[in-house]
Structure 1
Amino acid sequence: MNQPPMLRIQVPASTANLGPGFDSLGIALGLYLTIEAALSERWEVIIDCEELHGLPSDETNYIVRMAQKAAAFYGAAMPPCQLKVKSDIPLARGLGSSASAIIAGIELANTFCCLELDKEEKLRFAALEEGHPDNVGAALYGGLAVGIQREEGAEVVSLPVVGVEAIVTIPAFELKTEKSRSVLPDKLAFGQAISASAASNTLVAAICAGNWALAGSMMEKDQFHEPYREELMPYFAEVRKIARASGAYGTAVSGAGPTIITLANIEAAPVICQALKEAFPDMTVQHVPLVNHGSLVQAGK
């Protein structure tokens, strides 16, 4: 057992769907969950940021539970640790906070249980736990994660993204995924499903080709979820209108919401960010880079 005395884990946030890529597309964002971990006689979670204030400080903490569950999934027992945790990722806002915690738990188990998992094995557990591979795929691999969830496991293709940045408009309220999913229809008409999947296909192809103007247009052609979720986010249309007028490529609901994500080129991003700050003073508007790396694990002293 060759365990480091201290471990530093950094997991990026993620946005999912990008409009029509429902439950199948995710992009890693430059906001991070950071954990410093060391073996201990008992579990202790030290929260070092306002974002996570009030979360459990013992083994009922979600990150601890994910570490224990991941270890058990691969036939090991997770030893207790002291965790110092801080995060830039808002909770229950559609920016992959749960996915980052799942990946962090896997990385803890992988190191302290000496599992030697590759990324495909890590993805297997993460996608089963999350229920879809978009956020966890982006948090694990970085860049654009294109994935599918099947009974036998998840498949993800990771692609780099360049020449574009994000602006996130974050309301002050939380929106649980369960509530956001409850407004979705049980089925779509055949023709509507064809049109919706065509938009998703074209979105991925446009990103691969570096045609962000077309990608942004396709982001705004969703028929899978946004038309049904708009009632939960009445500000969405106005954010999209202002962003478009300020030079954005495209705007979509981030994950299950309530955050709205806008993609733009590097020159336009600060202009859009300022316009949205002025229009929505009660919301948090941030200019955030897209990142092509997933979780990072470093042994410390």
Structure 2
Amino acid sequence: MSDLVGTGVRVSVPASTANLGSGFDALGLALGLRDEVDFTITASGLSITVEGAFTDVPTDEGHLVVQAFRKACELHRISVPGLALTCRNSIPHSRGLGSSAAAVAAGVAAASALAGREPDASALQLAAEFEGHADNVAACLFGGVAIAWSDAGGYRAVRVDPHPDLSPVVLIPSQESSTKTTRGLLPARVPHSDAAHAAGRSALAVHGLTRDPAVLLDALRDRLHEPYREPAWPATSRLVAELREAGVPAAVSGAGPTVFALPEGGVLPAEIDITGFQALAVPVDVDGVRVAPLG
């Protein structure tokens, strides 16, 4: 039997917003809205308790946190005879705020901690394999601004420090969105001019998020994925357009339908109609995943 029985860790993981305009599958930003998961190693079996606002998730081996934890334990050659999991969920599900990335990052980080390791490149690789891209999970694991890419060696990312004046507001609708569905709306090819636009704007977004937020109104404009996904969430597209017309940098958060905005001072203009959306001011998270022993 594993000598880990009776031990455990508490993992806190941030929400994230990805793409940030034209940085499709490449840019992510960690947000100060967190899920918390307690992992206790037991003698046998699996027990899952889910608390908080978002409890409609599997309570068996299908739970995404459990799947990621199991895979990471295999990677680290950790024997886990049983597991008791307590999840306290605050990140909205299927809204483009990285809830699945947070679940995966939590499982991977917990296994890394039990192996006596900090989350590293191997943790990123494993987490990104679940997601199919590294932007959200990199932001989750490392905090701040994530620049992600993939090559023959797998998924990679670097973290850069966000500008201290960023004051995000996320506008969350009741409508859910499936990443798989919205990806299906994207064309196999885009015009060369749109690709060039994306390259320039995503590079500008990195500068704006880290050095000069004044350029973000231009930097967050996209022609690579947002126009094609508009049929999935027309109200989201309308709100993004209204915010931009009012001078507020805005983009669709991840696969939508949440809107990510950066109003000056974190206050939306009074004339913006946010009917159907809940506005939530959230700080940028600079820490990424946090792990502490239980007890």
Instruction: Calculate the TM-score normalised by the size of structure 1.
Output: 0.90
Matching residue of 2:145: 144
Q: What is the CA–CA distance in structure 1 between the aligned matches of 2:198 and 2:244, rounded to whole Å? A: 21
Are residue 288 (structure 1) and residue 285 (structure 2) matched?
no
Which of these residues, 13, 16, 19, is aligned with residue 17 of structure 1?
Answer: 19
Deviations 1:115-158 (A, max 9, x none): 62542221111112211110000000100001102231222111
List aligned pairs for 1:148-163, cutoff 5 A: 148-161=149-162, 162-163=164-165
CA contact (8 A) 2:205 2:219 kept: yes
Matching residue of 1:225: 225
CA contact (8 A) 2:49 2:86 kept: yes
Q: What is the CA–CA distance in structure 1 between the aligned matches of 2:39 and 2:200, rounded to whole Å? A: 45
Q: What is the CA–CA distance in structure 2 between the aligned matches of 1:29 and 1:73, rounded to whole Å? A: 28
Q: What is the CA–CA distance in structure 1 between the aligned matches of 2:40 and 2:57, rounded to whole Å? A: 20
Q: What is the CA–CA distance in structure 1 between the aligned matches of 2:196 and 2:67, rounded to whole Å? A: 40
**AA at the equivalent of 2:290:** L
Matching residue of 2:243: 243
CA contact (8 A) 1:167 1:261 kept: yes
Q: What is the CA–CA distance in structure 2 between the aligned matches of 1:7 and 1:57, rounded to whole Å? A: 19
Q: What is the CA–CA distance in structure 2 between the aligned matches of 1:37 and 1:264, rounded to whole Å? A: 38
Instruction: Calculate the TM-score normalised by the size of structure 2.
Output: 0.91
Distance 1:89 1:260, change over 3 A: same
Q: What is the CA–CA distance in structure 1 between the aligned matches of 2:145 and 2:38, rounded to whole Å? A: 27
Deviations 1:238-276 (A, max 9, x none): 32344346552x11010011111101232xx2344x655
Q: What is the CA–CA distance in structure 2 between the aligned matches of 1:3 and 1:86, rounded to whole Å? A: 22
Q: What is the CA–CA distance in structure 1 between the aligned matches of 2:5 and 2:204, rounded to whole Å? A: 46
**AA at the equivalent of 2:253:** S
Q: What is the CA–CA distance in structure 2 between the aligned matches of 1:294 and 1:251, rounded to whole Å? A: 23
SS in 2 for 1:243: helix
CA contact (8 A) 2:13 2:102 kept: yes
Aligned residue-pair number: 291
Matching residue of 1:94: 96
Which of these residues, 286, 293, 297, is aligned with residue 291 of structure 2?
Answer: 297
Q: What is the CA–CA distance in structure 1 between the aligned matches of 2:121 and 2:69, rounded to whole Å? A: 17
Matching residue of 1:46: 49
Matching residue of 2:131: 130
Q: What is the CA–CA distance in structure 1 between the aligned matches of 2:275 and 2:205, rounded to whole Å? A: 31
Greater mean deviation of Cα atoms: 180-189 or 237-246: 237-246
CA-based RMSD of the aligned residues comes to: 2.0
Structure 2 residues without counterparts, runs of 5 or longer = none
**AA at the equivalent of 2:227:** P
Q: CA deviation at 1:290?
A: 0.9
Greater mean deviation of Cα atoms: 85-94 or 37-46: 37-46
Q: CA deviation at 1:181?
A: 0.3
Matching residue of 1:263: 262
**AA at the equivalent of 1:129:** F
Distance 1:230 1:150, change over 3 A: same
Q: CA deviation at 1:3?
A: 7.6
CA contact (8 A) 1:246 1:271 kept: no
Deviations 1:40-75 (A, max 9, x none): 232111111131x23222333221111112222344
SS in 1 for 2:24: strand
Distance 1:115 1:229, change over 3 A: same
CA contact (8 A) 1:30 1:288 kept: yes
Percent identity, aligned pairs only?
32
CA contact (8 A) 2:201 2:218 kept: no
CA contact (8 A) 1:15 1:94 kept: yes
List aligned pairs for 1:185-224, cutoff 5 A: 185-209=187-211, 211-220=212-221, 222-224=222-224
CA contact (8 A) 1:4 1:299 kept: no
Deviations 1:185-225 (A, max 9, x none): 1011223212221111122123332x1121232102x1210
**AA at the equivalent of 1:160:** D
